[in-house]
């Protein structure tokens, strides 16, 4: 207790020095947390727009479908299978889907599109797509109309209430052609999908393609991405020995996964460089503090204080400074992250075009995952423990006469 009192008094005997040291730690926390938060938040946004909003984290498909992606390689819809998988802990529900290419025509304009047949009620639980309808209304369970993505609607000059013609090749070579009323315009977060996606009810899509009772996939909707490694093996075990296969989002979106891994690696290198700069800043402050207090240390040892006891006091002082800097850094960084988590940064101009070319929503989002804060706190404490070695060595090895003459 006496050491704690001495250490606390010592750090406030020179308020300027204390504030400089605590500020360097505070800014290290702010930069580290903010940089990592925007990096991981942007990854989460990319995965959400590309995976949760479309493919899902796990899909069941016919073993031949993924390679060719033709409508002839469909799987039968099995309510019993869906119920069995839905019983796995961490699975919210299983969504039946049928999707394929279609040629959309409106007036004098024609464009290739992706028609996705869904169960509106179940799909909305995963994608919250009803909240993204910007015009018109969401689909009902057996609706004979469809939703048009905003980018596609703008290209074809389509509005709610218009009628469009779809042409395609159906199941086993049948001709697919029908007229669809537009029920609503929906904004899809993924820029690439927003330019090509049509959404209809599953029964209407099955009727259009002549594939009654058939699906291209079953999407396994899970509570959290972190549960993927627990749920996927159980799903694979259920379909083992059948003509079905279970694919994870990393297999279905290999390009996105590689892009995130590469960017994450470069981000960690930049963060490492940042902490090297921060470390030498903290070390410089501690060296300055040690030099200023050299005579003070000499007097205390001359009065009978053991060097190891003095070293312990300096160590506790450093811990106090660390807690002070970390507390200030946590307070400021939490405010920054919370603000930008609720109000992400929208990118414009040429940079937005670059993001959209990669199918990424042009937004810098922040993550408020608690592990980001804890990791940065731990790193700063480790850096401080390394930096405090210098004054400890100096105290244990200084010459008393030289110190008193300083």
Neighbours of 156 (CB within 10 A): 20
> What angle separates helix 370-387 from helix 307-342, to the nearest 10 degrees?
150
Tabulate helix, strand, coil % of the chain (nearest 5).
60, 20, 20
Q: What is the mean pLDDT of the chain?
A: 84
Q: What is the pTM of this model?
A: 0.71
User: Which residues pair with residue 233 across a beta bridge?
Assistant: none
Residue 323 has pLDDT above 90, yes or no: no
Q: What is the pLDDT of residues 121-156, one digit of tens each?
A: 888 888 888 888 999 999 988 889 999 999 999 999
- pLDDT for the residue numbered 84: 92
Rounded distance, CA 337 to CA 366, Å? 6
Highest-pLDDT range among 49-63, 222-236, 312-326: 222-236
Q: What is the pLDDT of residues 354-382, one digit of tens each?
A: 666 655 667 788 888 888 888 888 888 88
Contact 347, 363 (CB under 8 A): yes
């Amino acid at each position: 207790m006496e050491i704690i009192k001495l250490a606390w008094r010592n750090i406030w005997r020179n308020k300027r020095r204390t504030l400089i040291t605590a500020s360097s730690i505070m800014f290290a926390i702010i930069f580290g947390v903010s940089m990592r938060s925007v990096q991981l938040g942007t990854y989460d946004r990319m995965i959400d727009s590309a995976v949760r909003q479309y493919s899902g984290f796990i899909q069941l498909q016919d073993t031949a479908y993924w390679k060719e992606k033709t409508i002839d390689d469909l799987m039968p819809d099995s309510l019993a299978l869906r119920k069995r998988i839905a019983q796995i802990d961490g699975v919210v529900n299983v969504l039946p889907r049928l999707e394929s290419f279609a040629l959309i025509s409106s007036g004098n304009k024609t464009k290739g599109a992706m028609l996705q047949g869904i169960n509106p009620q179940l799909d909305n639980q995963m994608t919250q797509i009803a909240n993204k309808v910007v015009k018109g209304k969401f689909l009902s369970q057996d609706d004979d109309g469809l939703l048009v993505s905003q980018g596609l609607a703008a290209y074809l000059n389509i509005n709610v209430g218009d009628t469009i013609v779809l042409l395609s090749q159906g199941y086993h070579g049948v001709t697919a052609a029908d007229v669809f009323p537009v029920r609503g315009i929906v904004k899809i977060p993924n820029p690439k999908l927003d330019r090509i996606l049509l959404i209809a009810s599953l029964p209407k899509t099955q009727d259009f393609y002549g594939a009654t009772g058939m699906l291209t996939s079953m999407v396994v909707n899970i509570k959290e991405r972190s549960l993927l490694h627990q749920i996927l093996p159980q799903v694979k075990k259920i379909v083992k020995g059948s003509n079905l296969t279970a694919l994870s989002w990393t297999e279905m979106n290999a390009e996105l996964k590689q892009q995130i891994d590469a960017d994450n690696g470069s981000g960690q290198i930049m963060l490492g460089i940042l902490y090297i700069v921060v470390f030498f800043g903290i070390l410089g402050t501690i060296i300055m503090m040690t030099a200023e207090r050299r005579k003070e240390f000499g007097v205390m040892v001359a009065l009978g204080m053991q060097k190891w006891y003095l070293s312990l006091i300096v160590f506790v002082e450093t811990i106090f400074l660390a807690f002070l800097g970390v507390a200030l850094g946590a307070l400021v960084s939490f405010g920054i992250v919370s603000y930008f988590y609720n109000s992400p940064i929208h990118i414009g101009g040429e940079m937005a075009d670059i993001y959209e070319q990669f199918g990424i929503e042009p937004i810098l989002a922040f993550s408020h995952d608690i592990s980001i804060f804890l990791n940065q706190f731990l790193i700063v404490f480790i850096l401080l423990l390394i930096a405090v070695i210098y004054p400890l060595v100096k105290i244990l090895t200084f010459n008393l006469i030289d110190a008193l003459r300083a």
